[in-house]
Structure 1
Amino acid sequence: MKNYVLIQVIAGIYLMIFVAALYFATGVQTGFKLDDNQLIGYGGCGILLVSLVASLFTVKIKLQKGMAVLLTLCCVGLLFNGVNFNEAFWYFILFVVLIPFWMLLETVIFVTQRE
């Protein structure tokens, strides 16, 4: 159970970092800009948010393992969504790239452990 909560926390942190990276990548004093690349990023963040909220209500272990895999796929999908890495997005690049691999590792540990 402890690993499942850790996966949820990692997904929440990644969601906040990715939204902040998208916001700051729009340029100086532009705010939320919805061009083609960033709209895909915000859409992926929305899917991750819905998956994260749904994962909070799962109680059966099989569903929790499925939700852990879904959260990991959402984070890895955000990693490869083709966001335009311009301007301030580079400040977050280390977190944006490394957190999905950490989450993948935690998910593999959680899914493969015995009950």
Structure 2
Amino acid sequence: QLLFLRAKFHERLPSSTAVLFVHALNCYGFAWDRRVTAEGVDLNRNFVDFSKPLPSNPGYEELAEHFVPADISEEGLKRAEAAFAAYQARHGELKLREARGSG
């Protein structure tokens, strides 16, 4: 950002072009040196264009309640892990990763 301003790159842009600097979109990530927010969302990847149909992710829909379980007791977390293991046994590791990280 500083280089852009010091070098006056903005003066080289067409008058119809604007530049918006977004500083610390993910304050939590900056503070904790993480890519994701406190909620585990990767803002660099998880922007949704709501003018288009939402992506389909049947695996996520099946496992959603286990990704962020309401019951975070030891027993609740064991149930979530068991659900992931069962899903992986049925569909494979790649499909589990896809369910966790896509759409």
Q: TM-score, normalised by structure 1?
A: 0.27
Bigger-Rg structure (1/2): 2
Of Structure 1 and Structure 2, the greater helix share is in 1
